[in-house]
Amino acid sequence: MRGFSARLRAARPDPGEWTIGAALWGLAMALCICFSLTLNQRLPEIHLPRLLLVYFAGGMLAWLITLPLIRFCALGRAPETRFAASFLFLTIGTTAATALIFALQYRLFYAQWHAPFGTRIWAFQFVFTSASAAYQFAVLGLRLYLPLGLLFLTGASLLLAHRSR
């Protein structure tokens, strides 16, 4: 267990890298959606600030959660392994965090028509509304990361693989 705790301490990110990286990754994810919507000529004027905020917050949350995981798994490994860990964790983390924020916003909108908190019907409504939001994000929201998101993901993974030697 001693090796695990030492590895955990060594994987702790620098506070500057953690916070500045989170802001930059969130900004990159918001830029992805803006570029993708502009490229497809579907830039919604009314809901754009809310969409940008969802993707920005998802990117920030993902960076804050995944950076320690990346550093923990990549510590002392070969550059290829560090790159793969960065690519994998940033992909899954960004997708999951943004989907979670999207689902929470989705749930917030539909909560006005749901049963009172704590009832069996409320639990079903909560589960199925969240599942619907996750499905809707998977179908409509994931493609908004392309094409710019793949470039940002590759660049961030290369940078993290280089920095975490």
Please name the residues in contact with 165: beta carbons below 8 A apart, sequence gap of 6 or more.
Answer: 79, 82
| Dist CA 162 CA 1 (whole Å) | 28
Hey, what are 15's tokens? 């506070």
In 11-78, which ranges are continuous DSSP H helix? 15-39, 48-74
Whole-model pTM?
0.90
- pLDDT, mean of each 10-residue run, the chain (165 residues): 78 89 97 91 82 96 96 91 96 96 91 90 92 93 93 96 76
- The pLDDT value recorded for residue 119 is 93
